[in-house]
Amino acid sequence: MENKEIINGNNTAIGVKDVDLYYGDFKALKKVNMDIKKGKITAFIGPSGCGKSTMLRCFNRMNDLVDDCKIEGLITIDGDDIYKKDVDVVELRRRVGMVFQSPNPFSKSVYDNITYGPKISGIKDKDRLDEIVEKSLKSAAIWDEVKDKLDQNALSFSGGQQQRICIARTLSVNPNIILMDEPTSALDPISTSAIEDLLDGLKNEYTIVIVTHNMQQAARISDQTAFFLTGEVIEMANTIDIFENPKDKRTEDYITGRFG
């Protein structure tokens, strides 16, 4: 790993070095560099179509599923190149969980949603599965609301509850990194605030990367912020600096609502 030293400090979870990404002929990411810190929350902000979701999907190789998508440069997790030939993508996606914009629980019981991943990874013992269900739902701050309804279909809960069930499902396989693409944009303010609180509780144990269109949310919950514009990262810094003392005029214009 000759590149390890170049981009990875001890506290780097995800390293991005000179990444270009193409969908066919269209260049969606341009020479992106970043250092996503372990145990912190990193927010991606920027106008629609600037490449936030594209970047996020690189981290668990979801873009592999897109025909015609080509990635150049280096992306490392814990120092290892995740695009190397011998990488086990299934294992990568276990370590790097993802939560989407609209809650997408399976049409199964809450219990089956949470045990789905653990069962695939070979855990059969009922007590062990029960333990995982309780721990995951507690970490996702939804245990009290569902503990007497574990057999109920996950789709019968409210949107905010479903999103927390999805977060619990992600946690059940013990990831190191959680990617969230606008996880609260379909939720009401109370559910949003429940999720923000829960993220704050998770952040020391997990590295979290969250895409959000909500500036207040980025400012409230994240430690680092990256501002994207037409496929480039214009500025990445501690969140407080991005919002109080942006270095680039384009960042300032965006966060003060002058465009986007």
Ligand X SMILES: Nc1ncnc2c1ncn2[C@@H]1O[C@H](COP(=O)(O)OP(=O)(O)OP(=O)(O)O)[C@@H](O)[C@H]1O
Among 6, 11, 49, 152, binds ligand X (CB under 6 A): 49
Closer residue to Mg ion, CB minimum distance, 54 or 251: 54
Q: How far is CA 73 from CA 48, 84, 230, in A?
A: 24, 12, 18
Min dist CB 182 to Mg ion, Å, is: 7
One of 14, 16, 19, 28 touching ligand X (CB under 6 A): 28
- Report in angstroms how near the CB of residue 172 gets to ligand X at its nearest: 26
User: What number of residues does the chain have?
Assistant: 260
- Asked if residues 116 and 129 have their Cβ atoms less than 8 Å apart, the reply is no
Out of Mg ion, ligand X, none, what residue 23 binds, judged by CB under 5 to 8 A for its kind, is: ligand X
Closest alpha carbon to 19 in 65, 68, 70: 70
Q: How far is the CB of 199 from ligand X (least distance, A)?
A: 19
- The answer to whether residue 53 forms part of the interface with ligand X (CB under 6 A) is yes
Q: Answer with the entry of Mg ion, ligand X, none that 183 interacts with (C-beta below 5 to 8 A by kind).
A: none
Partner in contact with 49, chosen from ligand X, Mg ion, none, beta carbon below 5 to 8 Å by kind = ligand X
Q: Where do the H-state alpha helices sit in the chain? A: 4-7, 52-58, 89-95, 110-120, 126-139, 143-146, 159-171, 189-202, 215-221, 239-244, 249-255
Q: For the chain, count helices (H), then strands (E).
A: 11, 10
Measure the CA–CA gap between 62 and 93, rounded to whole angstroms: 9
Among residues 12, 54, 109, 163, which is the contact residue for ligand X, using CB under 6 A?
A: 54
Contacts with ligand X by CB under 6 A lie at 23, 26, 28, 46, 48-54, 66
